[in-house]
Amino acid sequence: MQEKDAPPEMSEESLQSASGGLTSDTETNRRGILKSAMSVSGITVVSRVLGLVREQVRAHFLGTSLASDAFGLAFQIPNLLRRLVGEGAMSAGFIPVLSEVRARSGDQAAFVFARRFFNLALLAITALSALGVLGAGLIVSVFAALGGQDIDPEARELTTSLTRVMFPYIALISWAAIAQGVLNTFRVFWVSAFTSVLLNIAIIASAVILCDQMGTPAYGFAIGVVLGGCLQFFFQVPYVYRLGFSWRPDFQLSPAVKKTLWLLVPTLFGAGVYQVNVLVSQAIAWGLGSGAVSSLQYSSRLIELTLGVFAVAVSTVVLPNLATDAAEGAMDRVGDTVLYTIRLCCFVCFPVTAALFLVGTETISLLFERGAFGTVSAGTTAYALAFHVVGLSHIAVSRILISSFYAFKDTRTPVLCGVLAMVMNISLCYGLAPHFDLAGIAMANSLSIMAQAMALGLLLRRHTGVIRDTETFSSLAKSLAATLTMSAVVVLLSRQLQLDALHGFSDLVLPYLALVAAAVATYTLSCALLKHGELAEFTQLLRRR
């Protein structure tokens, strides 16, 4: 079964690993990670671009209005639980145990474990969703209390109603996360990656069709979220069955299921710490006035777009590799994989961070300034983006490091780091927001994720020992040098093109594209002159294709 469904490079990796060739095994492992990441990344790019289009549609219909804030907050509440209970906690505890059961007892034993775990989740998450629908008013009240400010009654009522409509999404996406865990364990990545494309298509289509027909256009978006959740789950089901999985009402709490539940308990607090930070930040922003929540979310969308281009793909494909190597005690391969994926993410994130910081206002205006989203909305969103983007590389690195801990079945350490980062973020939000408004909240998010990434990196040594190589420092230095060179070109060319005097898509599209082309060319040429190893890896992969 594995040979049939796994990508060729994974089968090759397994054969070389069995033969004991360390050098060949390391090269194959790296090539497999990069190739799988590029495959997933291609789909994820489409998803993130559609996510951007989704936000553009939202900006057009809702702008930074009270209704836009209400939808953003209502979607964020089940979305937070999705990350905690679904994608984060379940995948983090589920994939390592499933990989272990499969390695020790074979495919059929793995499917039995997956079926029992799915059945348990079916009961528990259905109950949680029902409670969420019934208690939506209480949830929103608690959320408003976090902000520490009086919330407009109309805004509170609309947010409660939208939360009630969208809460079933958590059940659908949590079941989808289990299906994703099964597929990823069998090295089938593209199916689950594609489901986010379906979610965005559902929201966009629902909004375009329904918004003009409803008194409150935000309900068009809410209906799209639920439809998208259905698509995300049911699209994966045939592919899971194709692997050999079969369902029946088996609710036995086997040792493997209990072990997974034990891993999930701390992960419920640790896996979604970034989302908890976002949630609390937006609760505080809700008290700053209409439009604050929306501006932060539009800003975050650009950060997620960048992460989705490569960082999310890398962290997705690397977990099964790390889990297998950790189970075999191959610490040399674990260390090499962790450092290699960090180098790849920084190679991508460094230049994007600089570019968004330097031309953030123009980027926001180009992408969103139309319909209900005017110049004022563009200015406030760009203000938040300037401070959000500083933490981009650290978010990417944190995701990789958290996957590394999960590979060792250590969910407690990410909890510790996550709690500390959460306390730091909340404290900074309350301390900075009164003085710096949106920028204070974005700044708090970035500083807390930086602290979390550093703590995770230091504590990972308990499992791997001190990881040393001769490549990482040189790679990061070359990425930074190329980024600085690119930044100088961006500043000079943006002045020549007078981008700061242009507004909207029609005015900005051609000069902005010219600027992007020049930035990419400069960064690529600089990396080539510096003989950057990661550029060589990408070039070789493209040539093989």
Q: Are residues 309 and 404 in the same domain?
A: yes
User: What string of DSSP letters covers 255-292?
Assistant: HHHHHHHHHHHHHHHHTTHHHHHHHHHHHHHHTT-TTH
Domain-located, residue 474: no
Number of structural domains (the chain) is: 2
pLDDT tens for each residue of 424-465: 988 999 899 888 888 899 999 899 999 999 999 999 888 877
CA-wise closest residue to 294 among 62, 49, 53: 62
Domain-located, residue 114: yes
Q: Are residues 57 and 97 in the same domain?
A: yes
pLDDT score at 10: 39
Q: Are residues 242 and 314 in the same domain?
A: yes
- Which carries the bigger pLDDT value, residue 432 or residue 412? 432
Average pLDDT over residues 64-87: 77
Strand partners, 370: 373
Domain-located, residue 371: yes
pLDDT tens for each residue of 273-311: 556 667 777 788 887 877 888 888 889 888 877 776 666
CA–CA separation, 385 vs 355, rounded Å? Answer: 11
Domain boundary residue among 432, 449, 469?
A: 469
pTM for this predicted structure: 0.72
Q: Are residues 489 and 436 in the same domain?
A: no
- Which carries the bigger pLDDT value, residue 261 or residue 395? 395
Q: Are residues 135 and 204 in the same domain?
A: yes
Q: Are residues 483 and 336 in the same domain?
A: no
Q: Are residues 175 and 322 in the same domain?
A: yes
Average pLDDT over residues 498-512: 90
Exposure string (b/e) for 256-273, b if CB count within 10 Å is 16 or more?
A: bbebbeebbebbbbbbbb
pLDDT tens for each residue of 335-368: 888 888 888 889 989 999 999 999 999 999 999 9
pLDDT tens for each residue of 206-259: 999 998 888 889 999 999 999 999 999 999 999 988 988 888 887 888 888 888
Q: Are residues 335 and 446 in the same domain?
A: yes
Tokens 């070359």 belong to which residue? 478
Q: What is the CA radius of gyration of the chain?
A: 23
Average pLDDT over residues 135-153: 80
Judged against a pLDDT cut of 70, whether residue 48 lies above it is answered with yes
Judged against a pLDDT cut of 60, whether residue 22 lies above it is answered with no
Q: Are residues 142 and 237 in the same domain?
A: yes
Average pLDDT of the residues of the chain: 82
Judged against a pLDDT cut of 50, whether residue 476 lies above it is answered with yes
Domain boundary residue among 469, 500, 529?
A: 469
Domain-located, residue 513: yes
Q: Are residues 113 and 252 in the same domain?
A: yes
Confidence of residue 32 (pLDDT cuts 50, 70, 90): low
Domain that holds residue 527: 479-545
Q: Are residues 146 and 199 in the same domain?
A: yes
